[in-house]
Amino acid sequence: MQIDSSGRARTSPPTPSSARRSTPWTPTDLTRSRFLHARAGFDFAVVEECAAYEECSAYTEVYGDHVLAIDYTDNLPRPWDEVCADPETPASVVLRDRDLVTPDDPEYVFETCG
């Protein structure tokens, strides 16, 4: 979701993972998150790869413990135990395989911090 110049939220097509930003969130992004929380009434956030893109604090500063984060094995910035130990990592974080395969597949990964 993006905020246009009039302050209205608008949706945009999903960004392919290869085109996602590789820089941390800026204060403007945090302002957008706070805006969506206040104006749109969002009570929680579901986010992908916030550890990989150093975005977790932009969500936890607004939503506190009401953040569900999903990170993927193919894009971890550091070992999983370090991600879990990071104070900026949301309490509810899941590590998954990118293809979200079923438990009977050898590539299956599902881990939580804990």
**Percent of the chain residues topping a pLDDT of 90:** 54
Please give the angle made by the CA atoms of 81, 82 and 88, to the nearest 5 degrees. Answer: 120
Q: How many CB atoms lie within 10 A of CB 29?
A: 14
* Residue 4 backbone dihedrals phi, psi, to 5 degrees: -85, 180
Give me the mean pLDDT over the 87-110 stretch: 97
Residue 14 is given by DSSP the state P
Higher pLDDT, 108 or 61: 108
Higher pLDDT, 25 or 98: 98
Q: Considering the entire predicted model, what is its pTM?
A: 0.67
Task: Check pLDDT > 90 for residue 70.
Answer: yes
Q: Does domain 2-112 have CATH number 3.10.20?
A: no
Task: Check pLDDT > 70 for residue 7.
Answer: no
Report the candidate in 89, 25, 90 with the shortest Cα–Cα distance to residue 55.
Answer: 25
Amino acid 24: pLDDT: 54
